Amino acid sequence: MEIKKLFDGEKTVFSMEIFPPKKPGTIDSIYSTLDGLSGIKPSFISCTYGAGGNPADTSTVDICRIIKEKYDILSIAHLTCVNNTKEDIDLAIELFKQSGIENVLALRGDINDKVEPKDDFKHASDLILYLREKAPWLEISAACYPETHPNSETAAEDIRYMKYKEECGAKHFMSQLFFDNSDFYRFRERAEIVGIKSPIEAGIMPVTSKAGILRMVSMCGASIPQKLARLLNKYEYNEEALKDACINYSIDQISDLIASGADGIHLYSMNKPDVAIRIYQAVKNLL
């Protein structure tokens, strides 16, 4: 499926991300997540691969095949390269072929202090070029960073490498989570200035726990604006109130992004269908 076609119409694309069950051998539990999400009609669902530096296995491809075959939804398999050799990527390509997976999010991957990176791929752009050569039938997406990737010295440098990923063959971008839409709007302007033409989806993560989101932002470098910090502090010890307040926060963010013409909303569902459904119900008529 040509990913750019999803963005041809007037409507804002709505997509979601899930992750493989954490316990090995429990892949069947993904059905309850996917059944729970079935009230939503996303343009695609993507599935992470070894996120947080965790060991990766074939569950990403298995889940993407289930999304496609059982739920009839386009799936995008995440694939990282920093801990993989060319032979590992060849195996992944073979698995994609066998499982009918045609869409990949090509990533460098999180660097894990305990795992020595392999030498074959340094950046997502190396993986994109390799996939283009070895599997030209794959549609490639890539990641981008409204608040600039923490490894980049400057926003200008980061956006140049984003443009390079497009030149290498990325047809679509999914953004890192952010909580202040003005960060996304400034980033979108930078992308426009360097001539990036591919659609950019805005990554929205609903917060459900203060400790969880603090851990997440410390890993990915996103910032927490005052408005969200106030909610986290006020409802820290009231789980239901925190959930309600933060769902409303995500709905406000998404409504404003749609009104400002965002190409797409990529919802980090965190495998929590009840939260994703509440958000989708509130914004579906705006898309």
CA angle, residues 247, 252, 254, in degrees to nearest 5: 95
Binding string, 156-185, against ligand FAD, x = CB under 6 A? --x--x--xx--------x-x---------
| CA–CA distance, 230 with 103 (Å, rounded to integer) | 39
| Beta-sheet pairing, 200-204 with 103-107 | unpaired
Binding segment for ligand FAD (CB under 6 A), chosen from 89-97, 149-157, 186-194, 251-259, is 149-157
| CA–CA distance, 258 with 241 (Å, rounded to integer) | 26
Number of chain positions touching ligand FAD (CB under 6 A) = 24
Catalytic center residues: 17
Binding string, 192-231, against ligand FAD, x = CB under 6 A? -----------x----------------------------
Give phi and psi for 197, each to the nearest 5.
Answer: -110, -20
Least Cβ distance, residue 97 to ligand FAD (angstroms): 20
| CA–CA distance, 34 with 15 (Å, rounded to integer) | 13
Least Cβ distance, residue 215 to ligand FAD (angstroms): 14
118, 132, 149, 272: residue in contact with ligand FAD (rule CB under 6 A): 149
| CA–CA distance, 123 with 111 (Å, rounded to integer) | 11
Give phi and psi for 67, each to the nearest 5.
Answer: -60, -45
- Asked if residue 108 lies in contact with residue 49, where contact means CB atoms within 8 angstroms, the answer is no
Binding segment for ligand FAD (CB under 6 A), chosen from 36-44, 146-154, 230-238, 273-281, is 146-154
| CA–CA distance, 69 with 222 (Å, rounded to integer) | 35
Contacts of 44 (CB under 8 A, 6+ apart): 6, 15, 16, 73, 74, 75, 76, 103
Q: Is 262 in the site for ligand FAD (CB under 6 A)?
A: no
Binding string, 53-92, against ligand FAD, x = CB under 6 A? -------------------------x-x------------
Q: Which is nearer to ligand FAD, 165 or 171 (CB)?
A: 165
40, 77, 124, 213: residue in contact with ligand FAD (rule CB under 6 A): 124
The contact set with ligand FAD (CB under 6 A) reads 48-51, 78, 80, 107-110, 123-125, 143, 149, 151-152, 158, 161, 164-165, 174, 176, 203
